[in-house]
């Protein structure tokens, strides 16, 4: 795939005005306040893995509306003291899988909470969490479930789950609550970015090829899934464009990025049609700009000119590990 988005010199300066609804902050304050009184941990039980170097637990926590959300909690075997903890979110259409599938963070010495994505495992499998709200009017794909109103939209529920996952991690034994990190790639990167904008005391953000950024542009310049699924929905529901665009404005990663204050590490592939590079740059270039602080948070970006949605792959992971160790002193 050849380059298709803006040239790199323009991308480095690309900071578009992304429309935000006037009640954006009120919407998210009210959404999260409705969950605040609920106990967050519902169940924690050991999970046999046949692995000697890590210990794992099957965690259920209360997400949006009190719905049970599943997660894997994994940490280096034999460690008792509080550890810095990475809360990770998975890509579109995926579930949490099995506890031995994602071991980078625990073998690097971190505690690790991997959140399931409610209702999304139909494409790749591995999910154990239902989405009771998925029947609201909208299209057949997760990115279009309930898309006609921000109140009924799937990503309102999923982003709330992501914030509650941080709260659940802080309630688990062996977690250093002052050093909790949000991390993810693609959809997981978009969720991590939303968490950075909603959780004021997050220790760090690690995101690669973040989904849900500058969405209004993304649905106009790529037909690749998941953005292409929104375009397909609008192609068949021509009168829905205005309410759909309004709904999407409540979950745009650029708005969350402007409100974030945690140190951040980004990665973007310039040939990425799934999450076009200009959409990720729009979030990176405005990261922390809406906090009112005199200087933006510490942030670092790695660009991969010849890579698509895979970005830097293992090279990027190595950079994440080295950067995060420096930020957390771990």
Residue 330 catalytic?
no
| Residues 154, 160, 162, 168, CA torsion sign | negative
Residue 272 catalytic?
yes
Q: Give me the catalytic one of 121, 249, 272, 278.
A: 272
Please give the C-alpha separations between residue 204 and each of 1, 82, 107, 305, in angstroms, as whole numbers. Answer: 32, 17, 19, 25
Eight-class DSSP state of 103? -
Residue 278 catalytic?
no
Euclidean distance between CA atoms 201 and 127, whole angstroms? 29
**Nearest-10 crossing angle of helices 227-236, 241-249:** 150
By residue count, the chain amounts to: 330
Bridge-based pairing state of the strands 175-185 and 204-208: parallel
For 327, the enclosing helix (H) or strand (E) is: helix 313-328
The C-alpha angle with vertex 75 and arms to 77 and 84, in degrees rounded to 5, equals 125
| Residues 231, 251, 117, 271, CA torsion sign | positive
End-to-end C-alpha distance for the chain, whole angstroms? 39
**Nearest-10 crossing angle of helices 154-171, 187-198:** 70
Q: Give me the catalytic one of 56, 117, 152, 186.
A: 186
Euclidean distance between CA atoms 38 and 141, whole angstroms? 29
**In contact, 160 and 63? CB cutoff 8 Å:** yes
At 121, phi and psi to the nearest 5? -80, 10
**In contact, 251 and 159? CB cutoff 8 Å:** yes
* Dihedral angle of Cα 84, 316, 189, 306, to the nearest 10 degrees: 170
| Residues marked as catalytic | 186, 272, 309
């Amino acid at each position: 795939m050849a380059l298709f988005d803006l040239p790199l010199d323009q991308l480095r300066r690309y900071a578009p005005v992304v429309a935000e609804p006037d009640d954006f902050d009120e919407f998210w304050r009210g959404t999260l306040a409705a969950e605040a009184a609920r106990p967050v941990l519902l169940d924690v039980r050991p999970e046999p893995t046949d692995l000697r170097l890590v210990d794992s637990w099957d965690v259920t926590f209360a997400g949006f509306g009190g719905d049970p959300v599943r997660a894997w909690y994994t940490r280096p075997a034999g460690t008792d003291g509080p550890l810095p903890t990475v809360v990770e979110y998975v890509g579109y259409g995926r579930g949490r899988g099995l506890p031995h599938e994602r071991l980078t963070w625990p073998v690097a010495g971190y505690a690790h909470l991997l959140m399931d994505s409610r209702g999304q495992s139909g494409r790749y499998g591995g999910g154990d969490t239902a989405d009771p709200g998925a029947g609201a009017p909208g299209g057949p794909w997760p990115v279009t479930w309930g898309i006609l109103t921000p109140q009924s939209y799937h990503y309102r529920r999923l982003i709330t789950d992501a914030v509650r996952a941080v709260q659940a991690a802080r309630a688990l034994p062996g977690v250093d609550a002052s050093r909790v990190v949000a991390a993810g790639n693609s959809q997981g990167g978009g969720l991590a970015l939303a968490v950075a904008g909603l959780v004021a005391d997050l220790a760090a953000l690690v995101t690669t090829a973040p989904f849900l950024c500058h969405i209004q542009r993304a649905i106009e310049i790529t037909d690749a899934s998941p953005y292409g699924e929104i375009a397909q929905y609008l192609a068949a529901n021509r009168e829905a464009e205005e309410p759909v665009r309004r709904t999407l404005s409540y979950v745009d990663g650029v708005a969350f990025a402007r409100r974030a204050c945690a140190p951040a590490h980004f990665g973007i592939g310039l040939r990425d049609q799934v999450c076009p590079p200009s959409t990720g740059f729009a979030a990176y270039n405005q990261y922390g700009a809406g906090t009112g602080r005199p200087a933006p948070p510490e942030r670092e970006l790695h660009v991969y000119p010849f890579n698509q949605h895979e970005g830097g792959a293992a090279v990027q992971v190595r950079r994440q590990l080295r950067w995060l160790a420096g930020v957390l002193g771990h």
